[in-house]
Structure 1
Amino acid sequence: MTGRPTGKDVARVAGVSQATVSLVFSGAAAHRVSGPTRERVLAAAAELGYAPQAAGRQLRLGRTGLLLLAVPNILGPFFARVLAGAQAEAERDGLAVVVSSGWDHATLARAARSGQYDGLLICSPDDGQLGDDLPDALPTVFLDADPALAAGHPRRRIQELDVGGGMAAAVTHLRALGHTRLGHLRSVESAHTFRARQAGFEAAAEGAEVVEVGVSVNGGLEAARAAARTLLASGAPQDRPRAVVCDDDVVAAGVYHVAAELGLRIPDELSVVGIDNIVAAALFAPALTTVDLPGERLGAAGVRLLAAIGAAGDADIDTAAGADRVGPAPDPLPTALIVRGSTAPDPER
């Protein structure tokens, strides 16, 4: 082991789950963890020199040591990155992260009111009314979400990503290469993140010839292939877009498949740009130009915001002093265009 020990290290040495370590250090172990197990955890912590941070202890308003991370689809590579970042940050404070995937809003609201969790992280929600169903007392951070969800709620914060800026950078890159006929495989999901991407696209594509086709980014590769086929195989070849912007990298993979079916060479005859920068993006042939969304940083930032809400104190968080300790909403996390081999100048220019 290198660096500062974490709750995960303690769990490994003690031969227990990370949740058990969290219970022991949260003070909630009396009726849920046996005496011998508790002693084994404490002995392992002493051996490793482990102690949870103060912010983590203050966060545990419910004393369970558990955080709930709700994501639309855990199979989505971006959400796996968010989970990894949240888990790593939570471990520093002796907390554990439980993930839910695809829960409807009623189920999520019931979980939030159950008393099982000390904080709630909700990533890329698709409904602006979701906040109305959540308990006001539970510290909640919305990730990559509409700022309106936290308005007027002292125990809620938003951590945004600059997805609109990332999309604008992608389109600007294509236009700098001379592309004026653009295809856009646009998400049909209603999440704030896709509205922001659309706004960024429209601002950067002004004056260009644009053909848009809707696609469900939660539909996987088959939905992506179907949308790409509609975009590229319909109409006369001379009217086909020579550059395609995709609302995520899995959708871009569908474009690669259909381009191969049609005999279109990337990037010589068709430039492709995605968003997310999933691990596989560099393995595409050619490697995919894409916008990096820092999912790990997003998850970690959400846990730190939860800690700040907890540290403000339950008694006075509704006062000006309590709000000052939590601080204003942080700036959006920056995104970055990663230029690889899937984009080239428009061959007709």
Structure 2
Amino acid sequence: MPPSEAGPAAAPTPPKRPTGRDVARLAGVSQATVSLVFSGSDAGHRVSEATRERIREAARSLGYRPQAAGRQLRLGRSGMILLAVPNLLGPFFGRVLTGVHEEAGKHGLAVVVSSGWGSATLADAAATSRFDGLLVCSPDDSQLGDLPPDTPAVFLDADPAVNRGRPTVELDVAGGMREAVEHLAALGHRRIGHLRSTHSAYTFRVRQAAFEHATRDFEVVELGVSLNEGRQAAFEAAHRLLGGPDRPRAVVCDDDVVASGLYQAAAELGLRIPADVSVVGIDNIPVAELLAPPLTTVDLPGEELGRAGVTALAALLRGEPAPEVAPLATTLVLRSSTDPAGEPS
């Protein structure tokens, strides 16, 4: 038949979608084991973590995606968890979210992130079963109401004493604050300023208590800063702190955003960092390395915090007890924003 008389070309056969059977064959396990792992119901079946990871790796290489809708109908689950943070724009919470996403993918979970939710909204989200479980990070006091008792929930950077027995993953923020003050003391500073957060949250109360204890033999000048008002509020507080004739020659800031506001105030006042004022922050967000000079700061391991939280929540979803986690260690990262004490220039 001439080409002009040929019929329409046959449509290409769509590529075959990989199945659980394909994953099982590649991973060297039974199809039932694959189903157990991706349904999250392998508790009590003694599927080792090495086997689970081999199955997940096989699924990734094949492009296999479990049928989420069918899984939800079978298990009454959505496959989603909620991460509640105080401020979506806070750089530290971006680090936490990175860790949460990394770990959630290993457990077949999707993550929804929210900001500024009070206890009533969190309780409603849990009660309506929109989410399989909750991660509540650095909660302020308005988020500490009662959640439904059967809601799987894990608290991050929070007070374990008020979470009614729910798993809590803490950061050693007290140890980090002590290390910051001890660093300045080792440089000879005995009059230390503090730009402290006025946010009503456990993590900042711990920082404040640790600062007060570490500086009990020093002269202290403190000003409060509302973190919700951002760097402008920090700039104004720092301007007051550094603008007088009897300014402190060293300052600890409750987070790195506040420290960046202090840098701005120092520049406007003609003060040099660290020659005229030494500065230490807390968080170790990416901007800390970009400041001039780079900021000495306490690293809070946000990614590790997020991963540990998901690990605990995934255990709860499998019907297992959450593993106990010691407070995550913080580290003072020494850069160029501190100098030995001396006479003001």
TM-score (norm 2): 0.78
Q: Which aligned pairs between 1:262-341 and structure 2 lie closer than 5 A?
A: 262-312=269-319, 325-327=321-323, 329-341=324-336
User: Corresponding residue for 2:109?
Assistant: 95
Is 2:145 the counterpart of 1:135?
no
The answer on whether the counterparts of 1:185 and 1:227 sit within 8 Å (CA) in structure 2 is yes
195-204 or 335-344, which moves further after superposition?
A: 195-204
Question: CA–CA distance in 1 between the matches of 2:294 and 2:158?
Answer: 29
Identity, % of aligned pairs? 64
Q: CA deviation at 1:149?
A: 3.0
The answer on whether the counterparts of 1:286 and 1:341 sit within 8 Å (CA) in structure 2 is yes
What are the superposed Cα offsets for residues 149-201 of structure 1, whole Å, 9 maximum, x if unpaired?
A: 333x4xx2000000010011001000100001110001001110001111111
What are the superposed Cα offsets for residues 3-59 of structure 1, whole Å, 9 maximum, x if unpaired?
A: xxxxxxxxxxxxxxxxxxxxxx659xxxxxxxxxxxxxxxx958626588xxxx9xx
Question: CA–CA distance in 1 between the matches of 2:62 and 2:162?
Answer: 41
**SS of residue paired to 1:245:** strand
Q: Residue 268 of structure 2 is aligned with which of 258, 261, 274?
A: 261
User: Corresponding residue for 2:45?
Assistant: none
Q: CA deviation at 1:104?
A: 2.5
Runs of 4+ more than 6 Å apart: none
Q: Which aligned pairs between 1:198-277 and structure 2 lie closer than 5 A?
A: 198-233=208-243, 235=244, 237=245, 239-277=246-284
Greater C-alpha radius of gyration? 2
Q: CA deviation at 1:312?
A: 3.1
Q: How many residues align?
A: 285
Question: CA–CA distance in 2 between the matches of 1:210 and 1:85?
Answer: 36
Is 2:186 the counterpart of 1:150?
no
The answer on whether the counterparts of 1:142 and 1:157 sit within 8 Å (CA) in structure 2 is yes
The answer on whether the counterparts of 1:185 and 1:215 sit within 8 Å (CA) in structure 2 is yes
Question: CA–CA distance in 2 between the matches of 1:131 and 1:184?
Answer: 28
Question: CA–CA distance in 1 between the matches of 2:60 and 2:198?
Answer: 52
TM-score (norm 1): 0.77
Q: Could you list the runs of 5+ residues in structure 2 that have no partner in the other structure?
A: 1-37, 41-57
CA RMSD of aligned residues (A): 2.3
Q: Which aligned pairs between 1:19-168 and structure 2 lie closer than 5 A?
A: 26=39, 45=59, 48=62, 50=64, 62-127=76-141, 130-151=143-164, 153=165, 156-168=166-178
Question: CA–CA distance in 1 between the matches of 2:292 and 2:329?
Answer: 27
